[in-house]
Chains A and B, each alone.
Chain A
Amino acid sequence: MSAKEQVDYKILHHEALSENVFMLRVYAPEVCRFRRPGQFVLVSVDNDYGERIPLTIADADEKEGSITLIFQRVGLTTTLLSELAVGDSLASVLGPLGQPTKIEKLGKVVCVGGGIGVAPMRPIAKAFKEAGNEVICILGARNRDLIILEDKIRSFADQVIICTDDGSAGRKALVTEPLKELCEAEDKPNLVVAIGPTIMMKFCSEAVRPTGVPIIVSLNTIMVDGTGMCGGCRVNVGGQTKFVCVDGPEFDGLQVDWDGMMSRMKAYSGQERKMLENHQCNLEKAAAELEARK
């Protein structure tokens, strides 16, 4: 394909934030220009055999025409992405996709980010802050090394609460604990935004349900086209089938059929593991070959 037909999605920066979390800045001027908080892109590393995976636009730099993606290495495509370097290019970046977050001045907004979910949560939290809200951020991770973007969040949030499973940083608690306290307090928040592992979003929703505080979650279903054409991303929300890529990714957490969603996300897990193992196997073979040639 000629260079003119698609942007050369060059990687301008590539960094490991923790053992399995990576940040990359990629040249994508039109995505950068049109993106709004809450939106995502579909990226691919190979236009013939690659898969297209959704990643949230974590930040953007208009001068450079780039967007920032922060991702966790969980399977084949995220592994391939983690192996790229500055100067390499992505095969495709489609976006921005999804409905942007509805940013309004509400009063007090609590933003919960679990693990890698802190990355997509940050632009939303920041936008709420810029709209004049008091913003409290709860960051959760298994341990202290897995907390990402803490400084960046502290730079704008009114209050930051850190929770780790092992107590190595902040409170030894699940994010649902401080969330519950905040929502049960006298001056409850006007809105909760929770982004992270599905199970975390489910329990955050259950935690706020009795308090009457509205909660928005950002769903991360499996996607293929991201344009509403395939229905692979569908979930049941309030008894209706919704397509996460066009109707979402944000939904009312109290209405989502979490169990249905979780089973759909496991649809390919056996095959995915095989693909990753193959890739690792090939890498080892390639390394051995190089070694032998020397």
Chain B
Amino acid sequence: MQLGEGGCRAGSAKITMEHDDTSKERLDSLARAKWAELGGSAEGLKPAERLRIPSQPMPSQPADVRCKNMSEVALGYTETMARLEAARCLQCPAQPCVSGCPVELPIRDFVKAIAQGDFGGAIGLIKEKSLLPSVCGRVCPQEVQCQSQCTVGKALKDVGKAVAIGRLERFVADLERSSGKVEVPAVAASTGKRVAIVGSGPASLTCASDVRRAGHDVTVFEAFHKFGGVMVYGIPEFRLPKAIVESEVDTLRRMGVKFRSNMLIGRSYTVHSLLETEGYSAVFLGTGAGLPHFMGIEGENLVGVFSANEYLTRASLMRAYERGRAATLIAEARRVAVLGGGNVAMDAARTALRLGAEEVYLVYRRTEAEMPARREEVEHAREEGVQFHLLRNAKRVLGNERGQVIGLECLKYELGEPDASGRRSPVPIQGSEYVLDVDAVIVAIGNGSNPLLQQTTPGLEFNKRGNIIADERGATSIPGVFAGGDIVLGAATVILAMGQGRRAAAAINEYLGNCEC
């Protein structure tokens, strides 16, 4: 849908060129030409020839267009682009990419299948290891995982030129979904045992799927009215369309997983009551890292200061971007400062642009190299006109007599002497304060864990940071209670959450097999 007149700055000459570069039609025709040159097949190419195939860029909406809408930025490969990109893979015997993947997807093999045009075979291989390929293909930080290990990237001395594993994963997953032929995994005969899954983020969904496959009766309890965790309330539509998450949840429904919305465990049923009086034999806790950190600076409770969670929940889950239609409102900010340098900060900054902010500043304490956000998100944010204030930190928020934000005082930093580890950490420059003229401040400096389970689950052990203590298989201090995802790891990633959900499911299935419950 089209949003109101935004103030995004994209649209300069450079962007217009990029516009030409990234349209699907143009990129596809380039790929077709190259593919024809190769004779319509990648069989038998020599490594040197493979290295010469140009890496396939992601077709995307031009920056000046996309920053006025909420639709997905990246448009996905065409068949030819996918096969050509896959043809770049050298089929390394040692498969370094696989060891870079937290769930060890059979990358080399699925890439080979794609190169051969066997897309069904490729998605089959992926699904043996991953429940959410459409999601992971879009949001995994591939450049520090599989793609960082890729031989092609190393040979070309540029991670950005590694085989685009994530894009390929996304391509085959999307193809399967749009064909309407998503296979519903087989479910074993009913065991009559019941398992409660708390939360519905990637850790929970994965756990639910694997436990259900073993024939157990699975119920997911979610506090929100929609399922998917951060995938629906945090990551914006323009990066991860909600329809994808919905279709994944639907597949679980078709497997017979039961879903209960509006259920906050701890305030209604508790972990103990699920086990002791409600007839569940095991509980999985995948409640995420849902406690926004604030900076603790002056003026932080002024009107116009939001946690990124609040801003993004209003925008994504409650659809506040559909102004005039959604009852939930969102600040009509003209000049916005976003504090932080991770994915959450990028999402907030880019959402603010789409909601019509004229200037969006990203204030980050270190340099761009240290930003924990995915590379692609940083690049997209920059292209769309987000202004980076690096080596800067917020000092206090300034307000008017009505308690509304009118500015953000920042302090400049410089890189200090390298410490023992060789890392140069930022040190403040005394007296370098300056004021950014803004009417909203979005704090995206990380999330801690929600204290509710800790307060309501006696006997469950937590570490000092409020994360549940669990062993590598997800077992906690209470027998029958397992945990995984951000509630154990601290704010991490979708793929790690998924991996933990899967390992915990194996442990739960084993526990149910052995226990007298």
How far, in whole Å, are A30 and B221 apart by their CA atoms in the complex? 13
CA distance A96 to B266 in the complex (A): 10
Q: Find B452's partner among A47, A228, A241 (CB 8 Å cutoff).
A: A228
Whether B120 is near chain A, meaning CB under 8 Å from some CB there, is no
Q: Among A94, A260, A267, point to the contact of B262 (Cβ < 8 A).
A: A94
Q: Is A84 at the interface (CB under 8 A from chain B)?
A: no
B-chain residues with CB within 8 Å of residue A33 when the two chains form the complex: 268
A172 CA / B225 CA spacing, docked (Å): 46
- Segment at the A interface, from B170-178, B320-328, B360-368: B320-328
Q: How far is the CA of A45 from the CA of B269 in the complex (A)?
A: 24
Is A97 part of the contact surface with B, judged by Cβ < 8 Å? Answer: yes
The 0/1 profile, CB within 8 Å of B marked 1, for residues 77-113 of chain A is 1001000000000011111110000000000000000
Interface SS majority for chain B: loop
Shortest C-beta distance, A249 to chain B (Å), equals 13
Partner of A228, one of B259, B301, B451: B451
Q: Does B307 contact A (CB under 8 A)?
A: yes
A263 lies within 8 A of B403 (CB):
yes
Interface residues of B in 256-307 (CB under 8 A from A): 258-264, 267-269, 290-292, 294, 300-304, 306-307
Interface size grouping (class) on chain B: 35 or more
B318 within 8 A of partner (CB):
yes
The answer to whether B223 and A224 touch across the interface, beta carbons within 8 angstroms, is: no
Contacts of B303 in A (CB 8 A): 263-264, 266-267
Q: Are A230 and B258 in contact (CB under 8 A)?
A: no
A33 nearest in chain B by CB position: B268
Q: Is the CB of A241 within 8 A of B301?
A: yes
B327 touches A229 (CB 8 A): no
The B-contacting residues of A in range 124-151, CB under 8 angstroms, are none
Q: Is the CB of A5 within 8 A of B267?
A: no
Q: Decide if B226 touches A232 in the complex (CB within 8 Å).
A: no
Q: Does B314 contact A (CB under 8 A)?
A: yes
CB distance B403 to A49 under 8 Å?
no
By the criterion CB–CB under 8 Å, are A97 and B327 in contact?
no
The residues of B that contact A46 with a CB separation of less than 8 Å are: 327
Q: A91: which of B225, B260, B318, B403 is its contact (CB, 8 Å)?
A: B225
Which residues between 304 and 322 of chain B lie within 8 Å of chain A, taking CB atoms?
304, 306-307, 309-310, 313-314, 318-319, 322
Within 8 Å CB of B322, what residues of A? 49
Structural contact, B225 and A44, CB atoms closer than 8 A: yes
| Known contacts A34-B268, A48-B319, A266-B303, A225 near B313 by CB under 8 Å | yes
Chain B residue nearest to A9 (CB atoms) is: B262
Complexed CA–CA distance, A198 and B185 (Å): 54
Q: Is residue B23 within 8 Å, beta carbon to beta carbon, of the partner chain? A: no
Kindly report which residue of chain B lies nearest to residue A42, judged by CB atoms. B262
Contact with B along A1-32 (1 / 0, CB 8 A): 11011110000000000000000000000110
Closest B residue to A31 by CB, please name it. Answer: B268
B507 contacts A by Cβ under 8 Å: no
CA distance A6 to B261 in the complex (A): 6
Asked if B329 and A278 make an inter-chain contact with CB atoms under 8 angstroms apart, the answer reads no
CB–CB B327/A77 < 8 A: yes
Contact B301 A232 (CB under 8 A): no
| Interface assignment of B402: CB less than 8 Å from any CB of chain A | yes
Q: 17 pairs across A/B with beta carbons < 8 Å?
A: A2-B253, A30-B263, A30-B268, A34-B267, A39-B267, A47-B226, A48-B319, A49-B325, A50-B327, A94-B262, A225-B233, A230-B292, A230-B313, A231-B292, A231-B306, A263-B404, A264-B303
Nearest 4 A/B pairs, CB to CB? A263-B403, A230-B310, A51-B327, A229-B290
A interface residues, Cβ below 8 angstroms from B? 1-2, 4-7, 30-31, 33-34, 39, 44, 46-52, 76-77, 80, 91-97, 224-232, 234-236, 241, 246, 257, 259-260, 263-264, 266-268, 271-272, 275, 278
- Taking A6-B260, A230-B313 as known contacts, 5 extra A-B pairs with beta carbons closer than 8 A to each other, sorted by chain A number, are A95-B268, A229-B291, A231-B294, A264-B301, A275-B327
